[in-house]
Amino acid sequence: MTGLTEAAAGATFERPRIGVVRPALHVWALTLAVLWLVPLFVLVITPMKSVPEYQDASQWALPHDPLELFHNLKTAWTSAGLGPGFVASLTYGLTGAALAIVFGSLGAYAITRLGVRLGFFWFILVFSGTIFPFQMYLIPLFTMYTDTGLYDTWLGMALFYTAIAIPFCLFVLRGFFSTIPAEIQDAARLDGAGDFRIYWRIFMPLARGPIAVLFLFQFTWIWNDLLFGLVLSTSDGIRPIMPSLLGMQGVYAGTGPPIVLAGALIGSLPTVILFLLLGRYLLRGLTLTAGQV
């Protein structure tokens, strides 16, 4: 990430405005940051306590035996199908994001470079998939899935996640592809490359940056999904991780807060790690969204 503070002309144009209250701003920012960390503190510290410890001691008390964490993680992993859900979500995220990028890029390429008629219409058609609130899809999907036997199957979930990830991929890649200079394509064609070769060998590698961002965004979205996982699946191992996490809260589940939060920890780690790894692409990604149209 480029130094935002420097680039934002921070030094020059901000200082005269707020020079007097600069220390107050520091305090305010720091206080808010500390407050922001408290729930994360809860997320990390609570699973290190045993269930009776949670009930009896203060919330701020440090755990007696932090290694209790592993015991709680293990219990959480085997409760309410959280472990199988973790694996399932992993496969859905990888497959869905990858396929959506491929299909979206194919479409973006066709619209921007192959001169399909009514390219803009196709773009809007597919993009409209994101405009509707998800509630519009739920009931018919549920009925369709139960009628065709896709309900509660890996294929059913993977197909859906791919479909819903496509519109944004199309959106970003269409924008990106239309910025690729015509010379590159013409030069390649002069060398005898066909359309698909140009797509696969030139456009896609050029789009590495946006693709990384798209992968990050779509994997994260799929991983974090609750609603469709809740409606379209129920068995352990098919059901994604977030519905399983909520399932740990059921009355018959009989687990305590340290175990449920251990589950939340398990559910949160992958996307946090992904963010830490690919985070530098993030700003680029946000700029892409904002600067797209």
d(CA 43, CA 269): 11
Q: Whose structure tokens read 């306590």?
A: 49
Return the residue of 48, 73, 76, 80 that touches another protein, per CB under 8 A: 80
In the complex, least distance from residue 293 CB atom to another protein, rounded to whole angstroms? 5
Contact stretch for another protein (CB under 8 A) within 56-64, 67-75, 207-215: 56-64
In the complex, least distance from residue 190 CB atom to another protein, rounded to whole angstroms? 7
In the complex, least distance from residue 139 CB atom to another protein, rounded to whole angstroms? 6
Return the residue of 189, 201, 208, 280 that touches another protein, per CB under 8 A: 189
Provide the mask over 111-140, with x wherever binding to another protein is found by CB under 8 A and - wherever it is not: xxxxxxxxxxxx--xx-xx-xxxxxxxxxx
b/e per residue 226-253 (b: at least 16 CB within 10 A)? eebbbbbbeebebbbbbbbbebbeeeee
Q: How far is CA 76 from CA 47, 91, 109, 258, in A?
A: 10, 20, 45, 9
d(CA 241, CA 116): 40
Interface with another protein (CB under 8 A), residue total 145
- The residue length of the chain stands at 293
In terms of CB distance, is 59 or 70 closer to another protein?
Answer: 59
- Residue ranges in 197-236 that form contacts with another protein under rule CB under 8 A: 197, 220, 223-227, 230-231, 234-236
Check residue 247 for interaction with another protein (CB under 8 A).
yes
Here the tokens at position 140 are: 């018919």
